[in-house]
Structure 1
């Protein structure tokens, strides 16, 4: 008697890959991705294939997330040191013989032109989480000194390129790991107070500090100009202040309910610079107004809260620190982008997650989501 084996459907073969997934996290991402595709269709309809490419980038990120989610946190931990070492080595290669574009040296040609700083967004928190996991239960002050040194190396090399936006993201992720690892408050308060004093001094002596010919030493000239433009964008309304002023005009003109889909005048008359990338939040605000912005904020808030919940339930210290750091990356992306477009932070090259156009950033987001799903899956497997 012949035995007939029924071939399982594609869906039945795919379902095991989703076992243990945090679907609330997926729901928040899908909500943001939907708003991102809507905003991209409107702001990028006359930018060739931007909308199609944005959708393709999302599918690539989803595939990366699905694959990385199958890797247990223990295996991710084993990759921490190699990824960090390779990332720092590539940053050194950029410093020695990197490719310069528009005054910045951020790329290196290894047969394929790559931007190593993107790797460090993930490699740095991985390394720091590994470091503190190895010292769980016996952390000493010197361990925090070593952690700050491990963080300072990539941040310093990235700032030298110069790339303030990426350096800020790497620093935020690294500081999140150090803080959640138990950094004493007596070490947290002094830099916070120093930062507050610096801000007060800059505001008090704005005219003198922003005068022509003044050198801030610690910042490049273009970075100094960005801070001064933030303090008074009307200083150069058709030049350095143009981005901020047009972004604020677009956000304000959206009102409560917005001008409607495809109806943004600032957007479609091309007053908003970089309207499909760094300043897409201004285009979104103009067409969907306060109501749309509240929906966008709700999506990011839910994503961040869900990420923190996954971190708090992580099975190991490494998993908890990694998930917390990756959640911090999402928060920093969203906060800095919305802040710079709204005129409360200096303009830096930080995209809005799932909304802004960009393939490299989308790959980084897919990696981060995959690692967070890996932590969630390992937690659920252990509980079951």
Structure 2
């Protein structure tokens, strides 16, 4: 049979072979997810320009960070998920070693010891990398075993999750430790664990809440107390949340106009270009601007969950689902703490707040999600 006869016999396969030579097949990028992420980054720069006080140099630095982050995403999208799966346990061990090194010889700033500096390299925060390594490792563990998981397997996973969470909380970095705990718990939930186990675990966690309170540092307890009653110290601990709610409320439906915010530009709102940047957005663009941002976030999350549902194996499904749901937690916690419905824990607004490591980590996660989807397409079609 010659090539033309083969094309006539299997027209769908032949047309797929022709389509396979597109740009997306070479880069392993998911077109829809890439479009949504680019829209989110563009909107973020638009808001950041105003939040930074129209600082062009800060915008350029943020743009460079976006470029590095998208480059990392492209690199990880080209890596076969099976390779990530094989390397997951070794990366986990290496990550734990770095967390221990941070506690022993880490670099401190503002009362926290979260960074490590290696000769010839800029300092970096190992806890950010663990946001990816932890769900990779737990997904690897479950992928090697029958699901739903047995009680012994659940216990092992909880131990694996507890170790990095406690090491990061010791730095102290409550926000990152909670995000890592969520990423691991999402893997556990997606593994098909029974509902009665979930309810029992929730009851145990509620009973252990007093122990958590006793283990908190003084400033962490103050954050919780401020969340419950910010007006108790309006010029001190309650200042941030009072000013952020004032900015959000003053924006109304349509806002005061881009670059016309008062709370941020008159320095009433602290950290306006990092953790509290959505208050700037709400003040200047109003409810309409916030809903537009939430719509883009929703599209990103929906696409990520779709990719997770279409994954060809357990590892891909658990990893993609966990990374997507953790991204949702980023959004929910940041908006919740800025609007006063959650305590302030120092979680940036993903791909909008000023920062480098968090943006690169998030885009690396989306690179893994794209890899899971595009490599699946090449194998199954």
* Shorter-chain TM-score above 0.5: yes
C-alpha distance 242-137 of structure 1, shift in aligned 2 (>3 A): closer
C-alpha distance 182-53 of structure 1, shift in aligned 2 (>3 A): same
Q: Does 2:47 match 1:50?
A: no
Q: TM-score when scaled to structure 1?
A: 0.89
Q: Does 2:123 match 1:105?
A: no
Q: Distance in 2 between matches of 1:53 and 1:254?
A: 28
* CA shift for structure 1 position 27: 2.0
C-alpha distance 252-195 of structure 1, shift in aligned 2 (>3 A): farther
Match for residue 368 of structure 1?
365
Q: What is the RMSD of the two structures over their aligned residues, measured on CA atoms? A: 1.9
- 2:313 aligned residue (310, 316, 334): 316
Q: Distance in 2 between matches of 1:107 and 1:57?
A: 18
Q: How does 1:300-339 map to 2 (within 5 A)?
A: 300-339=297-336
Name which of structure 1's ranges 17-26 and 347-356 shifts more when overlaid on structure 2.
Answer: 17-26
C-alpha distance 137-52 of structure 1, shift in aligned 2 (>3 A): same
Q: TM-score when scaled to structure 2?
A: 0.90
Q: Distance in 2 between matches of 1:24 and 1:315?
A: 19
Q: Distance in 2 between matches of 1:257 and 1:268?
A: 18
Match for residue 134 of structure 1?
144
Q: Distance in 2 between matches of 1:14 and 1:57?
A: 28
Structure 2 regions of 5+ residues with no counterpart? Answer: 1-20
Q: How does 1:1-384 map to 2 (within 5 A)?
A: 15=23, 21-47=29-55, 49-111=57-119, 112=121, 113-137=123-147, 139-193=149-203, 216-384=213-381
* CA shift for structure 1 position 121: 0.4
Which SS does the other structure have where 1:105 is aligned?
A: strand
Name which of structure 1's ranges 123-132 and 78-87 shifts more when overlaid on structure 2.
Answer: 78-87
* CA shift for structure 1 position 382: 2.4
Deviations 1:325-376 (A, max 9, x none): 1101210110010000000111111111110010101110110110010011
The size of the alignment, in residue pairs, is 358
Q: Distance in 1 between matches of 2:27 and 2:51?
A: 37
Task: Determine if contact 2:147/2:192 at 8 Å carries over to the other structure.
Answer: no
